[in-house]
Chains A and B, each alone.
Chain A
Amino acid sequence: MFRNYLTIALRNLSRHKLFSIINIAGLAVGLASVLLIALFVRSELSYDRWIPGVAHIYRAEVTFTPPGRPPIQASTAQFLLTPAMKAEIPEVRDFTRLLHQYMTIMVGDHQFLDNVELVDRNFLQVFKLPLVAGDPATVLSQPQSVVLSQATARKYFGDADPIGKIITTGRGGCEPADTACADSIVSLKVTGVLRDLPENTHLAINLLVPNTSLVNRTGPKDLANWLASNTFGYVVLAPGADPRAVMAKTIPIMDRNVDLSTFINAKIPGSKIAQITLTPVVDAHLTTDRLNYSLKPAGSWDTLYGMMVVGALLLLIACFNFMNLATARASLRAREISLRKCMGATRGQLIAQFLGESVLMALLALVLALALGEVFLSLFSRMVGRGLAFSYVQDWPVLLGMVGMALLAGLFSGLYPALVLSGFRPGATLRANNSGQGGAGLLRTVLVVLQFAVSIGLGIAALVVFTQINYARNMDMGFRHDNIALVSTGRMTLETRESFMQTLARGPGITAVAFSSSAPFDSSRSAVSVQVPGNPQFFTPDGISVSPEFFDLYGMKILAGRNFIRGRTEDTVETSEDARNENHHIILNSAAARQLGFPDDQSAVGKTLLFNKDHLTVIGVVENALVRGATVEMAPLVYYYAPKVNGTFSVRLQPSQIPAALAYIDRTWKQFQPIAFNNRKFLSDDFAKLYAADQRQGEILGLFVGLAIFVASLGLFGLAAFTAGRRNREIGIRKVFGARTRDVIALLLWQFSRPVLVANLIAWPVAWYYLRGFLNGYAYRIDMNPLYFLGVGLAALLIAWITIFGHALKVARANPIKALRYE
């Protein structure tokens, strides 16, 4: 019996090649997509879970709520927070900290610019990361020691044993004027080698150095600053401890240490300014906001859910195909079923036979899906920006899941056809030429509608995402960000810096050089607190130190008043704590002028504002610039000129002479900073990174839209072949009565246009609802233009037409006699 079923099943497969290929290919594409998405989801959910004891480790994160501006949420905290927590909160068993820094590392004659993580000496005892060499308890006990990752060790020393080797770098934490300190070199001894970390951890480690080392770039003042969040702080809670209770116990710590009174003339409790959140380390990867600081690109629940939904939809489309074509084929099988019934087959046996057939088909699709999955895994990994891997042996649960899913898809897809086919009455089907089944026809139409609704919805989403990214990228941000090279000042003294700037400005292809405490699109920022005299309200706009060349270089117009003038002491400010700047000058941007209550830019000029105890005069108002990209609302900004503050040089290049200009910059750097790595980069690269995550999401969406449309079209193609065949006789009659080929084609195109048109009506509102949410993530966004919806709808219609045109033409051209005689 079973052999007979199998024979029939296999012969059916080979006899109806088109249907078989469409069924299997469609389902395979669906299953392969699900496999890739499952690997991605599994990888995202597995972050850090493999680290022993990780369940008790939490990351302390601070949210600053300065008066007069929205909260600033960080993934980091103050350097002194976690030790204070351990000292005062009994549930906190231990803590460890990580400062993320860049350093120029010298190994013999070679220079490398690398990320260096400055950590507490117990770091490897809290995070039990596997060491290839060295003892986790002691590798970090000497201040001038370093643990390298395997990859970094190989990069520095090749195949030689790195243990005991020396690497050198400049000393950190020097006072700006201390040239001797800045020029001194520190040797670090390699004490251990860390096994290269897998993809699924939020940690990224090349070099681990104790934070007590002389190389620590963060100075003692910054480390002691309770108003700066510069440290990844981790605490280990006692088993069973409630993190919320621990969070509550940080309130007194904040009250005692966080103090704004040196900046503003008011007493605000510290816990009102800074709040601590504990995030389980296993959640760190998926909860770090994309605007926030992280060691590597963070994931997001939104992306994860989005991918799962898309995967499920694709599988659903593929199953719909399967059901659709199987019911369509039903009439071809009617005779076989009737004969089997005449021979005494029960309905149950028939259902089993047809379910078996569809499961067989699904398993064939699974084999193809696994092959497709392997072929496209590396491409998909690159698209999602993760290193995904799949091994049949190690990943047997995923494999098992896939088999289960294929079986389920086969059963689900085969259920309806099995019930319909087995329900045929033998008499009726043996007698009549035509197995008339209006119900199945309706179901088929509904399934085609749903397939296209999904494809159209995803298509609109992809279009809107790409249009928005493009819009954000090309919008007028209020300043010119093209052809600018950025060079970090590193550890230059004030004099070196000025002379470096002057030397650069003389170079070929360099039109201007400016200096500022942070560059546009920089994620770090600092706030200043401002009061309008006589008004108790505080404002805390971002503050940025700029040299007088800055506005001109970035093409930002001074709307009222004047620019800073080099050499005028009253145009500069000192930022050290004891410095007094009474009656010195600042410049506001337009947004800050509005926020502080000046009705227009001109009226702000000449006004005095209170910065803590100093009165500063506004000498100019400059136009707004979106230095944080299109996702953030235009922010109020205060510009001051603090010559002593380190930061970044901006160098405007002549487009025609870029190579010469870059070579000159590099030569000049070597001359001024022979031992430091030159970390020159383009501002446009930072700009691109702003939208990298959305761009990637858009590309992934685009991929799955393509697949969805492909599978839906496959289904439509099969259905068109079938339907066109069924309508042969009708078309023959129409032709006999004068229908021309084009009349018939129009008739068939219209038949398949209707479901696509209805699909639009379903897809449009759903797409609109979800895309509104996406666009709300951008402060500056495109309007939801009806043309996107119409355009995608039309494209879907066009694809449907192209898909079925071949069949329509064939049927329309056929000689009607055949259809009328041999029906």
Chain B
Amino acid sequence: MSDNTPKMISLKHLAKVYRTTEVETTALRDINLDVRSGEFVAVMGPSGCGKSTFLNIVGMLDAPSGGEYWFDGRNIAGYSEAQLSELRKSAIGFVFQSFNLIDELNVAENVELALLYHREISAAERKARVAQALERMKISHRARHMPAQLSGGQQQRVAIARAVVARPKLILADEPTGNLDTANGEEVMQLLTELNDEGTTIVMVTHSLSHAEYAHRIVNLLDGAVVTESIRELL
């Protein structure tokens, strides 16, 4: 990955402090990190190190309390919730540890959800893109099933289909293999690698070193700060 590749994410002195009346908790302090377009970055660290806060801020689900967050050349630290929501739905896809599929919707409907709030996409095109995404995740035959009828691996494939169906530039994966057995975990990592090979930027939080090794770069967090960055080639 050359230094000339444009930066997708650039965090400068990023901080996050949670305040309640009694306690002030620093979740992130002085994070400086760049992610270039097309990169695959794994974030690791012990429980409570701030991984999830980091991912939430990068995913625009939470606002930093200090510092700058440049996304695609724009500092979005001061964006309103509506602006963030707009940016998020077009640019970012999410994959969660617990899949977070909606129990009351079937597989196809769950995937379609990611397109539902894009008013410019017609119903016919939505159908086509959902079918395509399901095909790609090899889960088409389960399109009419409810999430509860699927295995964990299948559910996570649906969740990935949902994350990619809106064709985001960035996929944020929060321990995507945490609830899966080895075989299914490997399969999910393969899928993410494929997506990355096609140009999608991926930031993944994980506990598993073997899965982190699929990434180009591993960022280690400890007590809310970046302690090491390692490039895969060097490991």
A: residues with CB less than 8 A from B are 434, 436, 729-730, 732-741, 743, 815-817, 820-821, 823
- B69 near A: Cβ within 8 Å? no
Question: Is B117 touching A736 in the complex (CB atoms < 8 A)?
Answer: no
Which one of A730, A741, A823 contacts B102 once the chains associate, using CB atoms below 8 Å? Answer: A730
List of 3 A-B pairs having minimum Cβ-Cβ separation, nearest first:
A738-B89, A738-B117, A737-B114
How many Å lie between the Cα of A333 and that of B166 in the bound state? 40
**Smallest Cβ distance from A509 to chain B, in angstroms?**
69
Complex interface: chain B residues within 8 A of A733 (CB): 100-102, 113
Complex interface: chain A residues within 8 A of B100 (CB): 729, 732-733, 736, 820
How many Å lie between the Cα of A734 and that of B59 in the bound state? 14
Question: Is A815 touching B113 in the complex (CB atoms < 8 A)?
Answer: no
Question: Is B56 touching A737 in the complex (CB atoms < 8 A)?
Answer: no
- B220 near A: Cβ within 8 Å? no
How many Å lie between the Cα of A817 and that of B60 in the bound state? 10
A733-B100, A733-B113 as given contacts; A738 in contact with B56, CB under 8 Å: no
Complex interface: chain A residues within 8 A of B40 (CB): none
Question: Is A821 touching B52 in the complex (CB atoms < 8 A)?
Answer: yes
- B118 near A: Cβ within 8 Å? yes
Which one of A730, A738, A741, A820 contacts B88 once the chains associate, using CB atoms below 8 Å? Answer: A738
**Smallest Cβ distance from A300 to chain B, in angstroms?**
51
A734-B113, A737-B94, A738-B114 as given contacts; A817 in contact with B85, CB under 8 Å: no
Which residue on A lies nearest to B59, using beta carbons? A736
Complex interface: chain A residues within 8 A of B88 (CB): 736, 738
Question: Is A738 touching B85 in the complex (CB atoms < 8 A)?
Answer: yes
Question: Is A730 touching B104 in the complex (CB atoms < 8 A)?
Answer: yes
- B61 near A: Cβ within 8 Å? yes
How many Å lie between the Cα of A509 and that of B160 in the bound state? 90
How many Å lie between the Cα of A729 and that of B104 in the bound state? 12
Complex interface: chain B residues within 8 A of A815 (CB): 61-62
Which residue on A lies nearest to B85, using beta carbons? A740
Among residues 144 to 203 in chain B, which have CB atoms less than 8 Å away from a CB atom of chain A? Answer: 162, 166
Question: Is A737 touching B61 in the complex (CB atoms < 8 A)?
Answer: no
How many Å lie between the Cα of A817 and that of B88 in the bound state? 14
Question: Is A740 touching B61 in the complex (CB atoms < 8 A)?
Answer: no
Question: Is B62 touching A739 in the complex (CB atoms < 8 A)?
Answer: no
Among residues 80 to 95 in chain B, which have CB atoms less than 8 Å away from a CB atom of chain A? Answer: 81-82, 85-86, 88-90, 94
- B54 near A: Cβ within 8 Å? no
Which one of B52, B61, B98, B117 contacts A739 once the chains associate, using CB atoms below 8 Å? Answer: B117
Complex interface: chain B residues within 8 A of A729 (CB): 100
Question: Is B61 touching A817 in the complex (CB atoms < 8 A)?
Answer: yes
* A-B residue pairs in contact (CB < 8 Å), sample of 30: A434-B103, A729-B100, A730-B103, A733-B100, A733-B101, A733-B102, A733-B113, A736-B94, A737-B89, A737-B94, A737-B113, A737-B116, A737-B117, A737-B162, A737-B166, A738-B85, A738-B86, A738-B88, A738-B89, A738-B114, A738-B117, A738-B118, A738-B166, A739-B117, A741-B81, A743-B117, A816-B61, A817-B52, A817-B61, A820-B100
How many Å lie between the Cα of A820 and that of B100 in the bound state? 7
Complex interface: chain A residues within 8 A of B118 (CB): 738
How many Å lie between the Cα of A733 and that of B100 in the bound state? 7
How many Å lie between the Cα of A733 and that of B113 in the bound state? 9
How many Å lie between the Cα of A733 and that of B85 in the bound state? 13
How many Å lie between the Cα of A736 and that of B113 in the bound state? 10
**Smallest Cβ distance from B106 to chain A, in angstroms?**
14
Complex interface: chain A residues within 8 A of B166 (CB): 737-738
How many Å lie between the Cα of A740 and that of B119 in the bound state? 12
How many Å lie between the Cα of A186 and that of B101 in the bound state? 97
Extra A-B contacts (18), CB below 8 Å, given A737-B113, A738-B85, A820-B98? A436-B103, A729-B100, A730-B102, A730-B103, A732-B100, A733-B100, A734-B117, A735-B85, A736-B88, A737-B89, A737-B116, A737-B117, A737-B162, A737-B166, A740-B82, A817-B56, A817-B61, A821-B52
Question: Is B102 touching A817 in the complex (CB atoms < 8 A)?
Answer: no
Which residue on A lies nearest to B62, using beta carbons? A817
**Smallest Cβ distance from A431 to chain B, in angstroms?**
14
Which residue on B lies nearest to A738, using beta carbons? B89
Complex interface: chain B residues within 8 A of A734 (CB): 102, 113, 117
How many Å lie between the Cα of A741 and that of B82 in the bound state? 9
**Smallest Cβ distance from A466 to chain B, in angstroms?**
43
- Residue interface mask B61-77, A partner, CB < 8 A = 1: 11000000000000000
How many Å lie between the Cα of A633 and that of B89 in the bound state? 69
Complex interface: chain B residues within 8 A of A735 (CB): 85
Complex interface: chain B residues within 8 A of A816 (CB): 61
**Smallest Cβ distance from B169 to chain A, in angstroms?**
15
Which residue on B lies nearest to A740, using beta carbons? B85
How many Å lie between the Cα of A606 and that of B140 in the bound state? 96
**Smallest Cβ distance from B110 to chain A, in angstroms?**
9
**Smallest Cβ distance from A127 to chain B, in angstroms?**
71
**Smallest Cβ distance from B146 to chain A, in angstroms?**
11
**Smallest Cβ distance from B52 to chain A, in angstroms?**
7
How many Å lie between the Cα of A734 and that of B115 in the bound state? 10
How many Å lie between the Cα of A5 and that of B85 in the bound state? 48
Q: Identify which of A729, A736, A741 gathers the most chain B CB atoms within 10 Å of its CB.
A: A736
Complex interface: chain B residues within 8 A of A823 (CB): 98
Complex interface: chain B residues within 8 A of A738 (CB): 85-86, 88-90, 114, 116-118, 166
